[in-house]
Every structure is written in structure tokens, then in C-alpha cells.
A and B are shown apart, each in its own frame.
Chain A
């Protein structure tokens, strides 16, 4: 890495440069219809306490039974993170009292997680690549939800979420800036969405991040870290890290020391606040859950899951660069969402890749962004857009007409070729019609005609006038060529 790039990752304090060291823990809700240890539904947004089995409510004598599909999803995710799948893993009980934790313990994996070390590659602006190690991934239950604002002196508990399967994915402390941390969560989100193992919805809480931050002198010994809980958007992740690193540098430079603690990010104030110190930390009294046998996974099952993995963002990006000849930057943007990459590939079929990328970025995404919609909500299919691009390539319509045509199918639907035919949008390449239009423009503008002979740059104005005269249907290249010929200008490109 260049010195300049290195410097941008450092934070300047009063006493010199500081390096920020960041590790991230992500809780990703497993995409599954049923909970981790009970058959209850995981539907989001249902009436409170309607998605609760006797097991989820920890009724006496009820027992957990592992949901095979959730295990498969976790293995799939592990494979997507190029991680070691542990053939034997163990479920432990994490004991603590809280009203939204019915059993008084959470079933989690402590010493022997299902998934071991893996890695995630980050593409950063400027073509910089960062490799972030994955420490582990394990399965655990989610808790219910306590509602403290429904009654003046009572708290309410909704157990719909109780027992829903989560994957806790822990990174190594390999990130050095808020940008990298946000890119990590974004990439992780992209991977789980490609795999179909988590919907990645941060607003609904399907993907939640805790961030560990410490600071040190560049290359020095690791500082004491603070854990920031529940930072629930990419923007907040960046904000929380910036704030926390500044705070820690301030404390140290003022002669203080950082104490290991858990902090909460207050999005409204844009700051982190102490939640509990290390001394106040719970003693969770982990021990293996005697209701569950160790989870033993057959290699053949892992192999079958591996064989069914979709093409993941990194591979897709490499292929798009190689096969489509598009830039690494464009490919990187396209592969962040599987739907977007799929859309692009359909759009680009049989047409020039660069035109397809531009059309997607400028026309389709532009319209979607203005409407606040995602690619999945696009009213015009990739196939229809592909037809439009083909009409341009064939010379049937101009780029300008194409945009109008897109507006039509965007709001009214329909087949582009039919619309072009029905509404007479076909581009005019008939030189006679164009020559007549040129004559009309010249006749109407004698002074300009004299002027353009001295100032050839004015030719563009004439092209515009002729296009207007033809109702936009004239082929601009033909107009340009004929105009120059008629006005006696040099035939440049």
C-alpha cells in the first residue's frame, strides 16, 4: 500500500497519528420458516406472542430439538465465508435472567462453534483490497422483546422472536478504519443475501452489528478495546467508530486509560455511552446444554451443500470483468446485490457491455433512486430493457428516443418494438427527409448560416435544430454528416 493510502487510514491526534483497530460481531437472523429449536414460525411483524411454542415460552418439561435447516443455512454461510466447518460442535447454555429470555438461558455455542476460521475480501475505493479474517460463526437463539413504553408501570414481553435462529459471525480485528468496517458489514450482508441464508434487513433487525474498537500507535501493541452494541446501519457503524476512536484518543492523550467496557451507540446524539464495565459484566456460567447432544455433521452433507452454493460476489465480479470487459469498479458495484448483477447480465445479453452498464446506471438506477425503489421493484424487466438497447444498436431508434421509450414502458408497460412501430418512433435515416429539414433550418436562419462558416463550432446548434425539426426521429449521426456536407464544413468525427 502506498504511504498516502496508509496515512488516510490513520487518525491524527494532538500527539501524533493513531491507528484504529476494529473487529466486528454480526448477528444475522437465519432465513428459515421455523425457529432454531422449536417448530414455531419466524414470521416478522405478526401480532405479539402469536409465534410462540411451548418450547419458546420455556414451559416446564419442554425440550429443544435442533432444526436441521438452520444448521444447513449456517454451514452454507460458513462455506460462503470460505471457512472451516467443524464436524463436531456443541451447544452451550448462556445463563442470565431477563424477562424476554424465558428459560433463563440462551442456547448458544461457546467453546466449540459450528464454523471456524474463514475470510472476507473487501473492495475499497481506489481499487484497494483488504482481507478480513473470520474468527468463527456459531448458531444461537434470539431472545424475545421487552416493551417498556406500553404501560406506565409495567413492561410487556413479546416472545415472537424468542428462539429464532441467529448466526453470530465474529471477525478478526483486521479493520483499520470506519470505512473498512462499514465495507465489511456491507460485504457480509451481500454474501448472506447471495447465499439466501439471511435477508440482511438491518431495519427489521435481521442483521445487527456490534463493533469492537481500540486505538494504538501505528504498528504498536493493541490497545484496550470497547465494544459498541447494536449499531444498526452502515452509516451508524461509521459514525460510532469515528466517535469512539476520537473519544479513546482524547482520553489517552489527556493522560487517561481506556477501560474495557460495553458501550451503546446513541444515534440521535451521534455518540457512544458506557453501558457496563468489565467488572459489571455478567458471569454467564456457560456449560454444555444437557438437553442437546453434540452436533455431528457428515462430510457428505457439507459436500452436498458446497456443491449447491451459488456464484458469490467475488467470483461473479471476476467473471464480469473477464467476460464482459467492464471495469473493476463497475463490476464491483454490480455484484453488491445479486439481483442487480442478475439484472445486468440479462440486460447485457447480446449488446455492448459498456452501453448496458451506462443504461443501467444512468437510466434504470437513476429512475429507481428517484422513486426510492430497489432493483427488485423495478417495473421494467431486464429483458424489456435489453430489447430497447437492441433497438438502439440496430439503429432503429436514437438514444434520445430510447429514453422516451423507457418512460413509456416504465409507466404503461408494453413491448418496446410494438410501441416503436405503433407510435412511429422509428429513427429517420432517410436522407431526403433529413435534407429537407436541413434546408428548412438554413432558410429560416440566414445569419447563423453565414456565421457557422466562420465558426464551425456552431454546427452543434444546427444539429439540434434539425433534430427538433424531425421530431427527434432523425438519426443524429446522419444529420451531422449531411449538415457538414451542406455547409461545407470539414467532416470530422
Chain B
């Protein structure tokens, strides 16, 4: 067998079919990706590369393929966000405090993937503890997007927090990847990197073994080249887990089935509140195009209202830091992770271990979270934010009486330059303005690449549907994908060899 030069660009579906047909071997495919990863180190997409393990896993896949025991993802090389605990493989959450942490256990999602035959290529870079929208809040240095503005050497961010995974998929360093999405951390980097990213319904995918950021919002999901690939990956990742009390006992359908059904007769809601003041014309145009594509394919366009959407971002920046401040209390230097040296007492051990171990954005959010939960402020902040959350969920419930899916832009703009927004946290937080509502309401949502900005950087549209209607999200996402026919690729400027 010889691997075609195009193998690195294979979709998951292509690779799966080629492997099953024994046109390629998992070992060859994996070797090609481990080389591509090594060649792409300037992107800094990976924190830890695992070529030896990849070779072992690929060899095992080849044996199973040979004996006709191939599983759903047999021999598919994947990149895993470094927030998923992987047994005996360093898991850092992008933080200095877990710089040398090697978990003795495996997250449920990754275990599901290995049980389906997938191959681990390595652990991808990310914003520390998934807090960020640009992959600049990194102890392991920022990730550089494979994309550059047209005719420019200017580097831009891949988005965040799952920026390493997004960059790895976009730069053909893996077939697909996992991400986690607390306020948009899968969909925003997917949109900025020209790939598909999906956040499932809260409870669809187990959170066990994923380093927690904000427990009531965190949800893992697939990042892939196509909607079909996302569907295949999601099916393998999802399912009830008795180890996660918030996971839901519900059958996981075969999401590939019905993917091509189309949107004829589907009611697509367009929320008027998402037309933000000062929104760029190109985003507006993109959105209008999306609406037109849907109408052309027989969908019914419905004008809907999500009146509380404007409170989503402030509510998110109370709920998420509140939970984070508590979730991150365990990183205290006592049992594992970074411990400050030469301390005189326990208070100093805590203060210095945490000051040394956490970056500025994590410290900021821990402080915000501690503040909003404090006696005297709890009702004014946390309780009110939870009420807003209820109202946002109700907005969607009412909207879904009139439509089947909601279509919005994924981000307010394309990727920005590294360092452009780091001085202004609020400007950075605004990146999630279109994505956070789905987290607050627990709804499934997908970001699909649809075009390039005037500068030549990718842009995406988002589809949100009812809880547990991932199939609906994927079907509409596929219709957009088909209409947009987005086929732009970044030039492989980073390649050393």
C-alpha cells in the first residue's frame, strides 16, 4: 500500500472508507500525521505529541482491520484537547499548575474514542483551563492559526479555547479533534479556523475526566473538516455515563443517517436581536447569504425574537467564573500539580503555588467568581445571572414553538492578530457574544465554515436547535455546508521541510 499525497486532507469518512477497503493502512496514515505534526511545530498546536502511542494504536487497528473486526473509528488519527485526562499521558489544561500532571485515569470521552478504534496523535494546546477566545492565555505559548490574511505574513489567532484542536484540523495535522465548549470554545475557533465545530446538548457527552472549567456549561464536542465527520465523531463520543450525574440516559442516534435529507419544509428562525449594532457588513452579508441558501433549499424563514440574548454575555461572565473559582480551588499545591518551594506555612503554600501556577486570565476569573459568590453579593450577581439563564432558556423554548432551528453568525468577526485584543478583556469576551446563549440554555449548536472575510480569513455560521436534536443541527449544518461549498485552505507556510 502506498499512501496518496492527499491522505492528510482526507475527511474522516474518506479515511474510514479507505482503511476498511485496505487501500491505506492505519500505520501509514498515522505516520503521515505524526510527520505533519512534527513539521508544523511553528503553529504550536500541540502541547504533547504522542507518536509512539500513535504507532502502537495504529498497529492494533491494522490487526483489527485485517481480521475484519474494525470498529467505528478504526485507525482514525485524532488530536485531543489537553483538557481531557488521558491515562499515562501528560494532561496540562494548558496551565503551569498542571505542567507535569500525568493522570492515572482516562476521560470517558477519550475512552469511548479508543474503544471505537481511534488513534491518539497528541494533546492540543489551549487557553489555560479553557478560559479564552484566542489561545493566547497559554502557559505553553500561544497557538498560531494556519490561516494568514491574504497577501500578508501577519499571524492571527486560531480562536479559543480549543484553538490547538482547531489549528490541527485546519492545518491537516489530524483527521479530527476533540474540543470543549463552555461559552463558544469549540464553535468560535472552528469558525475562525475554517472548520466544523459542534457543541452537543448539555448532558449528551460525559464530562468525567475532563478538567472542569464551569461545570454547568462545559460540554465536549467534535471538531472536524466536514459536518459528516462531526456527526461520526459525536456518535462515538456521546452517551450516558453513570460517572457523570449530569449526563443524560438517552439513546445516541446514528447521526450520519438523514444527514443529507435537506431543509425542505424546515422552519429556520432568524433572531432579530442578533443583528448587533456596529456589526460588520461582511458578517451581515454572510448571514443574509445563509438565510437565502436555506430559503432556496425549501426552508421556511421565520423572524424570531430572543429578547434576553443581550444579557447572555454578562450572565455568562458571572456564572462561569463563579463555578471556576470553586472548581479551581483543588489546585492548591497539596496533592498534585505545581507546589511552591520554600514556603513557611500553609497559607503561603496556597498563595504562591496558585500565583505561580495560574496565568493572569485564570486569576482574573477566579477573583471575579469569588467576588460574585461572596456574602452580600451572591443575590445581586449569581442569583440574578441564574434568573437570566432561565429567561434565555425560555426565549429559546418560545422560539422553538415557531421554528425548528435558529441560524446566526458564529462570531462577530474573523480572526484577529495575535496580541490585538489581549489588553482589553471585554473586547476579547465579546467574541463569544453569539455562542454563549447555547451554553446558558444547554442547547446543541454547530459552527460551519461558509466563506472568507475581505482579508481572506474564514467565517462561519451557527445553527442552534432544541435540546437533544443534534440530528437536526447536523442536518441544517450539512445543508449550509453544501450551499456554501467552502473549499478554501490555508497555504502550508509553516512547513519546515
Q: Which residues of A contact B (CB under 8 A)?
A: 54, 57-66, 93, 95, 97, 99, 102-105, 155, 157, 283, 285-287, 290-293
Contact = CB atoms under 8 A, between A and B. Distances in A.
B244 interface: yes
B334 interface: yes
Q: Select the residue from A57, A58, A61 with max chain B CB neighbours within 10 A.
A: A61
A65 B244 CA distance: 7
Given A60-B85, A287-B322, A287-B378, A99 B346 contact: yes
A65 B332 contact: no
A157 B214 CA distance: 28
Size category, B interface:
35 or more
B374 interface: yes
A105 B245 CA distance: 18
A292 B245 contact: yes
Nearest 7 A/B pairs, CB to CB: A104-B329, A285-B373, A290-B216, A290-B215, A58-B330, A61-B209, A60-B211
B245 A155 contact: no
Given A58-B330, A61-B209, A287-B326, 16 more contacts: A54-B105, A59-B105, A60-B98, A60-B211, A61-B107, A61-B212, A62-B208, A93-B326, A97-B329, A99-B332, A104-B326, A155-B346, A287-B378, A291-B215, A292-B246, A293-B246
Contacts of A283: 374-375
Contact of B245 (A54, A58, A66, A285): A66
B209 to A, nearest CB: 4
Nearest to A284: B375
B370 interface: yes
16 contacts: A57-B335, A58-B330, A59-B105, A60-B93, A60-B211, A61-B107, A95-B373, A99-B332, A102-B334, A102-B335, A157-B334, A285-B375, A287-B326, A287-B382, A290-B214, A292-B246
Given A65-B242, A285-B373, A287-B373, A103 B329 contact: yes
B103 interface: yes
Contacts of A57: 335
A60 B323 contact: no
A93 B209 CA distance: 20
A99 B334 contact: yes
B144 interface: no
B336 A59 contact: yes
Given A287-B326, A287-B382, A61 B211 contact: yes
B128 to A, nearest CB: 13
Contacts, number: 95
Contacts of A102: 330, 334-335
B210 interface: yes
Interface of B: 84-85, 91, 93, 98, 101, 103-105, 107, 207-212, 214-216, 242-246, 322-323, 325-326, 328-330, 332, 334-336, 346, 350, 370, 373-375, 378, 382
Given A287-B373, A290-B215, A291-B215, A62 B245 contact: no
Contacts of A104: 326, 328-330, 332
Contact of B101 (A60, A64, A291): A60
Nearest to A285: B373
Contacts of A93: 326
B101 A285 contact: no
Nearest to A282: B375
A103 B378 CA distance: 21
A60 B244 contact: no
B114 to A, nearest CB: 16
A104 B346 CA distance: 13
Contact of B103 (A59, A63, A292): A59
Contacts of B93: 60
A39 B207 CA distance: 18
A4 B245 CA distance: 58
A285 B374 contact: yes
Given A105-B329, A285-B374, A60 B245 contact: no
B246 A62 contact: no
A174 to B, nearest CB: 28
Given A65-B243, A291-B245, A60 B326 contact: no
B85 to A, nearest CB: 5
Contacts of A63: 207-208, 243-245
Contact of A62 (B91, B209, B375): B209
B369 to A, nearest CB: 9
Contacts of A292: 245-246
A105 B285 CA distance: 49
B245 A64 contact: yes
Nearest to B328: A104
A308 to B, nearest CB: 26
A104 B215 CA distance: 15
B86 to A, nearest CB: 11
Contacts of B323: 290
B81 to A, nearest CB: 12
A99 B343 CA distance: 15
A57 B101 CA distance: 14
B66 to A, nearest CB: 35
Contact of B350 (A95, A97, A285, A290): A97
Contacts of B378: 285-287
Nearest to B336: A59
B140 to A, nearest CB: 17
Contact of B326 (A66, A99, A155, A285): A285
Contacts of A285: 325-326, 370, 373-375, 378
B249 to A, nearest CB: 12
A109 to B, nearest CB: 15
A98 to B, nearest CB: 8
A485 to B, nearest CB: 85
A291 B246 contact: yes
Contacts of B212: 60-61, 291
A367 B334 CA distance: 51
Contacts of A97: 329, 332, 350
